[in-house]
A and B are shown apart, each in its own frame.
Chain A
Amino acid sequence: EVQLLESGGGLVQPGGSLRLSCTASGFTFSTFAMNWVRQAPGKGLEWVSSFSGSGNHIVYADSVKGRFTISRDNSKSTLYLQMNSLRANDTARYYCVKADYYDGSGYYFDYWGQGALVTVSS
């Protein structure tokens, strides 16, 4: 059974930093692309960043580029999100999401963690 368990959320002041972790189990972690997707309170879903399963292809949403850093440790089956220079509008639940491909090119999110709540407030 695929499981994704996020940790590291909490309350942080504007301009502060936080690191989220996501521990995965139930699949060969190194093989699959992993993502962070966030959801502000009462709002919709926003993709944040992805890290490919093979190689080092990393992509960020414009809203976090230059402030957030995604990384992974395949030996620990763990995905990370280092968040710096946090703003009030970064307040959201951050989901760790496994991705897969179909037909060789289509990309979809097949498993989601329960999320870690990040609150940026003074």
Chain B
Amino acid sequence: DIQMTQSPSSLSASVGDKITITCRASQSISRHLNWFQQKPGKAPKLLIYGASTLQSGVASRFSGSGSATDFTLIISSLQPEDFATYYCQQGYTTPTFGQGTKVEIK
């Protein structure tokens, strides 16, 4: 299986901050990388697929980039509703997820 490693595992930030979450695959996955947001007690929500394509209805402050083994999720200006846990997931072979990055209020 392809292992996905996210960093950091958690971070504290303020409203308006720009934050970056990285995801590394144990082997090349081309651009088959997806990002999800999960709030407590809720199902995950798709944010980005194909490394950089924003899912319909997702705010433009979210962006993704990367290819092969290294990927990035950026939130350009953190909003109160963005405090959540974020997961990357590879869709190249049988799906695997990163361990998650919890974004907390500073």
Contact = CB atoms under 8 A, between A and B. Distances in A.
Interface string A103-122: 10111111111110000000
B71 interface: no
Contacts of B50: 102-103, 106, 108
Contacts of B53: 102
Instruction: Tell me what chain A mostly uses at the interface: helix, strand, loop, or mixed.
Output: strand
A14 B42 CA distance: 27
Nearest to B55: A110
**Interface range on chain A (Cβ under 8 Å from partner):** 20 to 34
A88 interface: no
With a 10 A CB-CB cut-off, give which of A45, A109, A112 has the most chain B CB atoms. A45
Interface string B1-31: 1000000000000000000000000000011
A24 B30 CA distance: 31
Contacts of A73: none
Contacts of A35: 95
Nearest to A114: B43
Contacts of A106: 30-32, 49-50, 91-92
B100 A112 contact: no
- Counting chain A CB atoms within 10 Å of each CB, the highest count among B30, B92, B97 belongs to B97
A107 B33 CA distance: 9
Contact of B97 (A44, A107, A108): A44
Nearest to A100: B49
A110 B94 CA distance: 16
A107 B94 CA distance: 9
Interface of B: 1, 30-32, 34, 36, 38, 42-46, 49-50, 53, 55, 87, 89, 91-92, 94-100
Given A103-B50, A107-B92, 10 more contacts: A37-B95, A44-B99, A47-B94, A47-B97, A106-B30, A108-B91, A109-B89, A112-B43, A112-B45, A114-B43
